[in-house]
Structure 1
Amino acid sequence: MKTAILFGSTGLVGRHVLNQLIQNDNYSKIKIFVRSSIQINNSKIKVIQTDFNNLEKYKDEIEGDECFFCIGTTKKNSPDKNEYQRIELDIPKQVAQIAKSNNINSYFFVSSGYANSKSSADYLKYKGLVEEKILSLGFSKIGIMRPSFILGNRKEFRLGEKIGIIIFKLLNPLLVGPLKKMRSIHSETIAKAMIKLANNNIDQKIFESDQISDLVK
């Protein structure tokens, strides 16, 4: 029986990861790290209210078999440039470093399609830099998810994303060959793929959007 560590359990992908972990008999304990206290009635779950400005304080809690990192933000929600960098770059790199120092074997990260450390776009650059950090740490098992447009029920209404959903549903069948990695993907599919990777021997480390979907077929 395994212990899973989850960052981002209330987010679009993270809440599906949590549900998958609860349902999976391979896990006896799930540690979730959250900013605000939440009530979850499940004997597997340990809720750790976390000051993300002082992650070293929780180093002893970041221990287990597998770490799932699903935290992300937008520039609209984090307009301050330094705060945006902290959430998208500094926190995931620090969590990965602590996880490795605590001998966690497996690390799973929700990145982005076209992540690239040399990109001129901050979002893609930060995701790429985090990917490089995770790969350099040498975890026994790594799963870097690079989804394209993510479908799912978000807590807040975003008109642009509602329009995007309609557009991608029309475009998906037309995206073939090298363009398949641009296909939209449901948040639950990403979560299922991460759990499958965690519990099977698959050598691949980075998965584009279409490859994530293929994992759960």
Structure 2
Amino acid sequence: MNVILFGATGMVGQDVLRECLRSDAVARVLVVGRTPVGVRHPKLREIVRPDVSDLDGLGDELDGYHACFFCLGVSSVGMNEDAYRAVTHDLTLAVARAVSARNPGLVLTYVSGAGTDSSGQGRTMWARVKGRTENDLLALDVDGYMFRPGYIQPGPGTVSKTRLYRVVYRIVSPVAPLLRRLFPNQVTSGDRIGRAMLAVAVPGAGGRVPANRILGTREINALGGPPGPEGRDDRG
């Protein structure tokens, strides 16, 4: 299959890209983003655009894709709701509509997070904005899966763009294997998220996917299998 990936330079997106390039089920990966990913691979093609929601002019470059993995996101820290909604809800829907219009039967995965508010009316700003985003994506004519991971352990060489997250991961990483054993349904990893996305997108894999289109950490881990060996870095 052919995959379009948004957010490949982010913490989750880096690991998802690695799994796509590693998978024999993936023939081609198109990365669309604001900055280059810094990876070279025969399967990989990049389109760099200052505004990734503006896909006008790309023509048939967006045609012929089976799945769109949307991993682009920002921290809500220090942002008001209007600004956060613009880069979380509005941008995501603009991309989903543009890509799905050119690719009938598209499988779309979206990374939100544990605690996302499906009512879209709760008190927590980020949770209600992501809840509305999920709801609007599920209303589109796409085969959509909403990923709600809890704690995500990044893969080797994967670095978050958010300084606070980098500090947290530096502190938590040494005890991550223990956390996985103690809280198996709250802790996942970037490589498992990538493999879970491939599992819902690969033709013929639908029987493995829960009927619920909202996948929490338990479902992500079941689909993604065990995490890779500690310290492995075979991004290709």
CA distance in 2, matches of 1:53, 1:71: 10
CA contact (8 A) 2:53 2:91 kept: no
Residue 216 to residue 112, structure 1, CA distance change in 2 (3 Å): same
- Please give the TM-score of this superposition, normalised by the length of structure 1: 0.82
Distance 1:197 1:35, change over 3 A: same
Contact 1:17 1:195 in 2 (8 A): no
- Alpha-carbon distance change, 10 to 143 in structure 1, aligned in 2, over 3 angstroms: same
Query: Given residue 113 of structure 1, which amino acid in structure 2 is its aligned partner?
Result: A
Tell me the distance in 1 between the aligned counterparts of 2:21 and 2:75. 28
Q: Is the 8 A contact 2:5 2:17 kept in 1?
A: yes
How far 1:109 moved relative to its partner?
A: 0.9
Please tell me whether the aligned partners of residues 5 and 66 of structure 1 are also in contact (alpha carbons under 8 angstroms): yes
Which residue of 184, 188, 191 corresponds with 2:191? Answer: 188
Identical aligned residues as a percent:
22
- Distance in 2, matches of 1:114 and 1:193, equals 19
Q: Does 1:25 align with 2:24?
A: yes
**Does the CA contact (< 8 Å) of 2:67 and 2:108 recur in 1?**
yes
SS at match of 2:139: helix
Matches within 5 A, 1:131-210: 131-139=134-142, 141-152=143-154, 153-155=158-160, 157-158=163-164, 159-160=167-168, 162=170, 180=185, 183-199=186-202, 200-201=205-206, 202=209, 204=211, 205-210=213-218
1:45 deviates by 1.2
Inter-CA distance 38–208: structure 2 relative to 1 (3 Å threshold): closer
Matched-pair contact (CA < 8 Å) for 1:67–1:104: no
* Aligned equivalents of 1:120, 1:25: Cα separation in 2: 44
Deviation at 1:175, TM superposition (A): 5.4
* Partner residue in 2 for 1:88: 88
Runs of at least 5 residues in structure 1 that lack an aligned partner in the other structure:
none
The Cα shift of 1:104 comes to 5.0
TM score, norm. by length of structure 2: 0.76
Q: Relative to structure 1, is the Cα distance of residues 38 and 209 closer, same or farther in structure 2, using a 3 angstrom cutoff? A: closer
Aligned residue-pair number: 209
The alignment's C-alpha RMSD in Å is 2.7
